[in-house]
Each structure stands twice: as structure tokens, then as C-alpha cells.
Amino acid sequence: MGTESTKEKLAKIIAGEIALSERPGDAMKKWREMFGVSQSQLAEHLNVSSSVISDYEKGRRRSPGANTIKKFVETLIRIDEEQGGQVIRAFSKMLASEIPTDVILDMREFTRPRNGREICDAVEGVVLANEDLVDKSIYGYTVIDSIKAILKLSSDEFIRLYGWTTERALIFTGVSHGRSPMVAIRVKGIKPSMVVLHGPQEVDNVGVTLAKLERIPLVLSRISSVQEMIKNLRRLGT
């Protein structure tokens, strides 16, 4: 038997999450958005109306059956392949070390390098440390559920958050004080081009000090929701 491909592994993860979820519509929406596919785009490929997709996501239709889930997953992967396979490639490193999919909320490589100021604008960020380094080029981003990352990731798995390159923004959500992400980065010894924290009203002085010592631009996001932030970041990738 041949080695299971990244696409096959990813398909099983998506299908399993939807099938086992108490709210399958929420899981479908999560994965559709993670692939950057609109409801109308998905509906067109599935040859159904956009209202059908909306009904599933809002729980107005009964839970999808196995055939519906299979078509849904295959269509997302096919659309991504048609668009260059960006999402599949981004997940390949994560899947290689079996990082739980709920740790990474979004992970993209930009089609062209972006200035760090563009990242700040997308996250409605305030620079807390090393503003002189914010103008450097950034080649991708990873949005991380910080609590789940702390609870679930081993030291080796943390490295997988960098995707193809360390020249990216690591964006930590659900942050309380901002110290833990910077401690983790300092301990691992691999520096991203930028760290963004979403959640705290203020960042712990230790977190800011560590960012200064490591010469990593530290940004506090003031955007209202993680979903809005991801939507803005995805626009930079087009």
C-alpha cells in the first residue's frame, strides 16, 4: 500500500471533524473560510445554490450525510489545487508532525512579499517594540490559538508553525498577557519577522522586553474579532 498523500490526510481530517462535530455547519464554515472559498464559489462547484451552503452553515438543514461531506471536502481541495494548492502546501508541514488542526486558525504564504506595515494595518495593530524593523518584507503568516498551542504542541511541533519560512508573522490569538508567546519564541531560538498578539488590553512588560532583546517587531492587534483579522490578512494574499 502506498504512502497516504497530504491531500488524503487533510481530507480525512476535515471529513472527520465535520462528521463528529455537534455543530457540523460550524465546522463546514470553518474549513470553507480556511480555504478562502466563498459560499457562492463553493455552491457553483457543487452545482447547488448559495442558500444551500448558507443553510448548512447556519444549521437550518439537518446534518450532512457522508456523501455530502465527501463532495464538500473534495470540492474544497479541488478548488485549492486549481488556485495553485496554497492551502494544501501550507498544511503539509503541519500534517507531517500531526499538529492538531484546531491549533492553527489560518496559515498562508503570500504570492508576493508584503511590507510589515501592511500586516499592521490588516490587524489594526499598534507597534510595541522594534518599530524600526516593521518595514521588512514578510512572506506569510500563521494565526495560532495560543492556549491550544501551549497545551497541545511539543517543542518540535512548535517549529512547524513557521510553514515554509521564518520570514513570516506569527499571530497569537486568545492572549491574556503576551508573555508566553515571547518566552516560547526565545526558548526555541527561531525568530519570526513579526509577532502579533490579539486579546490583551495591555501586554506584559516581560513580553515587550523579550521582543526588544530578540529584535522582533511586537504588535498588539486592536481589531474586534479574529474572523475580521483573518479576512483582512487573506486579502493581502491575493
pLDDT tens figures, 78-136: 999 998 887 787 777 666 655 666 788 888 877 677 899 999 999 999 999 999 999 98
Task: Find how far residue 186's CA is from the centre of its chain.
Answer: 22
Cell reading at 179: 508573555
For residue 170, the cross-strand partners are 142, 195
- Which residues, 6 or more positions from 92, have their beta carbon under 8 angstroms from its beta carbon? 6
pLDDT, tens only, 168-196: 899 999 888 888 888 878 877 678 889 99
- Residue 222 pLDDT class (50, 70, 90 cuts): very high
> pTM for this one?
0.61
pLDDT value for 2: 44
Cα angle, residue 4 at apex, residues 74 and 67 outer, rounded to 5°:
30
Measured CA to CA, the distance from residue 169 to residue 152 in angstroms comes to 21
Question: What mean pLDDT value characterizes the chain?
Answer: 84
Cα angle, residue 126 at apex, residues 177 and 104 outer, rounded to 5°:
60
pLDDT, tens only, 18-53: 898 888 998 898 888 778 789 999 999 999 999 999
DSSP code at position 140: E
164, pLDDT greater than 60: no
Measured CA to CA, the distance from residue 200 to residue 175 in angstroms comes to 6
pLDDT value for 51: 94
What are the distances in angstroms from CA 17 to CA 69, 101, 230? 10, 10, 21
The candidate with the shortest Cα–Cα distance to 18, out of 59, 50, 52, is 59
pLDDT value for 93: 62
| More confidently predicted of 81 and 157 | 81
Measured CA to CA, the distance from residue 182 to residue 175 in angstroms comes to 11
pLDDT value for 195: 93
Domains of the chain: 6-87 (1.10.260.40), 99-236 (3.40.1390.20)
Q: CA dihedral in degrees (228, 230, 233, 234; nearest 10)?
A: -110
Lowest-confidence pick of 107-111, 156-160, 201-205: 156-160
146, pLDDT greater than 50: yes
Residue 225, number of CB atoms within 10 A of its CB: 10
> 95-132 burial, b for 16+ CB within 10 Å, e for fewer?
beeebebebbbbbbbbeeebebebbbebbbbebbbbee
